[in-house]
Structure 1
Amino acid sequence: MKILGILQLIFLCLSCFSHGDIDRSWSRTDTEIDASFGSAAAQRGALSQHEAIADWKEKIDASINLPPQESIPLLGEAVNKLAKKNIFQVEERIEVYDQARDLLLSTPGHAEYYRDRINEARLKMENSRGDAGDYPYYKNKLREVILYDFPIFEQLPSPETVRVLGEFLFDERGYVRVDNPKDENELFKMIAQGPVFGRAARSLLALPLEHKPVVDTRYPSYTNPEDILPWRQWIEEIKAGKRTFRFVGDPTEYDLNGPASQEKLTRLAMNRERDEERAVGHNRPSSAPEAESAVTRIGKPSTIAGILAGCALVAAAVWYFLRGRKTA
């Protein structure tokens, strides 16, 4: 059991380094594939891969006629496996991957399905606590579901996925504080309890989101809750209607329910413009022309009064002069 635990810990750490989407930048020829596998080419080489992908394509085509509870796990498994370079290197993996992912994204509940699987596995583990026979089994099952399902989230850029991962950001069940992430015993103790907030943050980081709240690094340390505060603040602002989000290559602005309404986009744009004007106003120094203009404006009433008073004096003098002539 100790060896199994160590292997699971190693697998978890390696899985943290995966990124969403498929690597479209490369593929290998059949000769290169067979050469790389050597004696294992018969089981994992080019011919085996072509046959496996043809089999997957047949299953994906047939999934259109399946209910969501059957099509989602099938398509999720296809997406998860076709995205792994250590399983498939042939070029047609990209086309079949895109077909599976597009079908999965078009299925309502594609992310909620995996959320429910994770929550159900946790509930079973918690209900079996104290049972010496069942508890270790369900604890391992929870770990397996977390390890398997979060990489699938990373392949599904959608508002539903962001919403589900946003919920998991605040799920600290099973959390054990790790002050030193290099302490394998403490880290393994926490992983064994299956907290998901760190995995949710890593999956959000792996999604092709524009303007992420953190630097896009492939090796984030999301061990303790304070490590994911930027992500929590980001999702709270979306919930509050203060911001939207979009995916790379997709100009659509989303909130957690789907494409954002034009009314919301207009309001956000006006708020941004107002905030920018306020920021500029706070930082603008007083200028001499503006000060002079203010002084001039302040002095205008007294100047006008002086002119009127002068005119009155002139009029009085003229009247007095004319009156004097008449008297003479």
Structure 2
Amino acid sequence: MVKIGPIELGDFPLLLAPMEDVSDPPFRAVCKENGADLMYTEFISSEGLIRDAAKSVQKLDIFDYERPIGIQLFGSDVDTMGECARISTGAHPDLIDINYGCPVKQVACRGAGAALLQDIPKMVRMTKAVIDNTHLPVTVKTRLGWDDSTKNILDVAERLQDIGIQALTVHGRTRVQMYKGEADWTLIGRLKENPRITIPIFGNGDIDSPEKALEYRDRYGVDGIMIGRASIGYPWIFNEIKHFLATGIHRPAPTVQDRVDACRKHLDFSIRWKGERTGIVEMRRHYANYFKGLPDFKPFRMRLVLTYSLDELLTILNEVSEFYEGVMA
């Protein structure tokens, strides 16, 4: 049984990665229904939370059906991060996670996210400030290092464990790599071989099939896997991996009707959470992903992303079901 503090996650948990503009409550609802064991909010700017920026505050919204769920924070100032841990605790998540892995310029070039991999003493101070300002378990998500010459994750893991983090997720790339090339899990495996490391270690990067999840679990000995991009438009990946790990057999692929049903649920929650107009607009980024691979889908997608009418959206989705039932029967 993998545990983060008092949180029991099963024998080999699958985590939904925090993804900006993706892993909001509507998306999390669909992933939870399809087998995600632990999820996180989109990462929240500590500076935005301190100045009460509406977008940052809204990201604190969590719902009971999502549990266990963590709030993920990022920032460049130690004291501000501590204060944000206190504020976030008031939203009643199950844990607080710190982002030391985001590689994008808007974050890293401001001294937050993966930038902390260049200043490990500051990373330690910041982590301690977060731990000191919450009674909840604190976890960390990071990368192998800043670049190929500074892959310091083995040292980072020991130092963060020593001050009290209760789990660590490692993405198998450096900051300089961004999301290019193949993720290297070799150092993640070495973390698991280190007898000093007693906290759960979760691997992240390039897991996009049940076969790969099985291979990486067995090769690197991780306690669980975090899945990000592969879940976008395909929340079924969590239960597909679980079924394959348990039986060695693939679950049937989702039908077109399964895709339409998941899309409808996502749309419905998006509207209930954000209001009709905003919910409809923000759902537009997801249609191409839900229906990826369907032949001649572009005319449907164009209609889906141009309308502001909920009734018309539902009509189009019904047309998708009827059209592809005939085409793919």
TM-score greater than 0.5 by the shorter chain: no
Q: Which has the larger radius of gyration?
A: 1
| TM-score (norm: length of structure 2) | 0.28
| TM-score (norm: length of structure 1) | 0.28
Structure with the bigger percentage of helix: 1
